[in-house]
Amino acid sequence: MVRSINELTDLKGMRVLVRVDFNVPLTDGRVSDAIRLDAALPTISYLLARNARVILVSHMSKSLASLEPVYIYLRHTLPISFVADVAGVPAHQAASGLKDGQALLLENIRRNPGEEANDPQFAKELASLGDIYVNDAFPVSHRAHASIVGVPALLPSYAGFQFLKEVEGLTPALTPQSPSLAIVGGAKLVTKLALIQSLLLKYDQVFVGGALANDFYAAKGYQVGKSLVSGSDEAKGLLLNSKILLPETVTVSNAVHREDKPANEVGKEEMISDIAPASIDALAPVVAKARTILWNGPMGNFENGFTEGTGVLAKLVSGSAGNTIVGGGDTLASIQNLGLMEKFSFVSTAGGAMLDFLANGTLPGIGALEIKD
Ligand code: ADP
Ligand code: MG
């Protein structure tokens, strides 16, 4: 059980340390995709409207970049200031200058090595900036970092609205209603193994596409030519599980052509770049009956133009009457490009955190919020 910030009504003058996920893409020093910033607004606005003093903590993963562009974006919408410091004297001074109903954004927290190391002294310095702690950063909550697990051990802790939305949206995928179908694609089998193993325990069928399928073809003894394969042995064992479904027709390419062909007829010089529409036609009856469908991972090498498999599958799944739960960094981008965001029951904005939550049923950042009595 985690507590929601809904329970917090008397917030006047309270210093609230909020872990947000402001790790957004920048182009020429400006925010180029604000989805994650906008997603944090309900929590921040809720706290500010109740006259709290809000201290925002985030990381930016790329080259330890500054969060100042995020501040420049947000200052149009929020009464916010920025301090180019994480938890030192300047941060404490800026925080103590806050008035009720004002927000302060701290600098990229990963600039302090104590964050990723979950250093107890650093967690203490950070925690001393607030009276209470709120986690609204579900996509980072698979990391046992100071701002995710260290601080909530020291302060009364709550979950923000975006965090709860993710937990509530993904939880039904942990106990799927039969008939159920999981679809897993992407590039590297090792990053999806724990997920696939856990899905095989709960789902009636697991369709494996994208480059992950190549490992399975190779395990079956098919020629995979120049296709991307991980080279791990794990597919061999998984193949024995009759719940696994594989695309039977693939789109192959080489320097001069592309064509659809049966997965067991790939040539030495060819590369499997996508699943063919025929494979999705074959999956259609399973989708039509499914009451829960979980989907993570693109079906093809979409960056190089192989978008068809993912597109056709997205249309099919989004038309299902069942509970359709989708997520993953690249999967989300594909669905956004297709304009299908609203057509699924739930679209997660989390990448690795979603995979870990689905594989383990919880995350370090969830455990850290749990009420212990
Ligand atoms: P997500 O971020 O949604 O979890 P992944 O990161 O696991 O997805 O996988 C996305 C990557 O998988 C993309 O870079 C895409 O090009 C790659 N991919 C999918 N199918 C293939 C394929 N057949 N060959 C090469 N790359 C592929
Ligand atoms: Mg990815």
For 223, the token pair is: 């020629």
Distances (CA, A) of 349 to 187, 193, 289, 323, 330: 19, 21, 27, 17, 10
Helix (H) or strand (E) holding 106, with range, is strand 103-106
- Give the SS3 label for residue 74: helix
Neighbours of 341 (CB within 10 A): 14
Which atom from ligand 1 is nearest to the alpha carbon of 298? 19
User: Smallest Cα–Cα separation from 61: which of 23, 29, 18?
Assistant: 23
> Which ligand is the nearest neighbour of the Cα of 297?
1
pLDDT tens digits, the chain, 373 residues: what are they? 899 999 998 999 999 999 999 999 999 999 998 989 999 999 999 999 999 999 999 999 887 999 999 999 999 999 999 999 999 999 999 999 999 999 999 999 999 999 999 999 999 999 999 999 999 999 999 999 999 999 999 999 999 999 999 999 999 999 999 999 999 999 999 999 999 999 999 999 999 999 999 999 999 999 999 999 998 788 999 999 999 999 999 999 998 899 999 999 999 999 999 999 999 999 999 999 999 999 999 999 999 999 999 999 999 999 999 999 999 989 998 999 999 999 999 999 898 999 999 999 999 999 999 986 5
Question: β-strand 15-19 against 53-57: which pairing, if any?
Answer: parallel
State phi, psi for 60 to the nearest 5 degrees: -140, 115
For 25, the token pair is: 């893409």
Neighbours of 152 (CB within 10 A): 25
71 vs 66: CA distance, rounded Å = 10
Ligand 1 centroid vs 228 CA: distance in angstroms? 10
Which atom from ligand 1 is nearest to the alpha carbon of 273? 23
Q: Ligand 1: list residues with CB < 6 Å.
A: 185-187, 191, 210-211, 228, 272-273, 296-298, 300-303, 328-331, 351
Among 302, 310, 325, the mutation site with the greatest number of ligand 1 atoms within 8 A of its Cβ is 302
User: Smallest Cα–Cα separation from 204: which of 101, 311, 292?
Assistant: 292
Burial per residue of 117-136, b for 16 or more beta-carbon CB atoms within 10 angstroms, e otherwise: ebbeebbebbbbbbbbbbbb
Ligand 1 centroid vs 274 CA: distance in angstroms? 10
307 vs 305: CA distance, rounded Å = 6
- Give the SS3 label for residue 9: coil
End-to-end CA distance of the chain: 11
> Which ligand is the nearest neighbour of the Cα of 296?
1
19 vs 21: CA distance, rounded Å = 7
- Atom 9 of ligand 1: nearest residue by CA position: 186
Q: What is the CA radius of gyration of the chain?
A: 23
Type of residue numbered 333: A
> Which ligand is the nearest neighbour of the Cα of 184?
1
pLDDT score for 373: 59
- Atom 26 of ligand 1: nearest residue by CA position: 301
pLDDT score for 10: 92
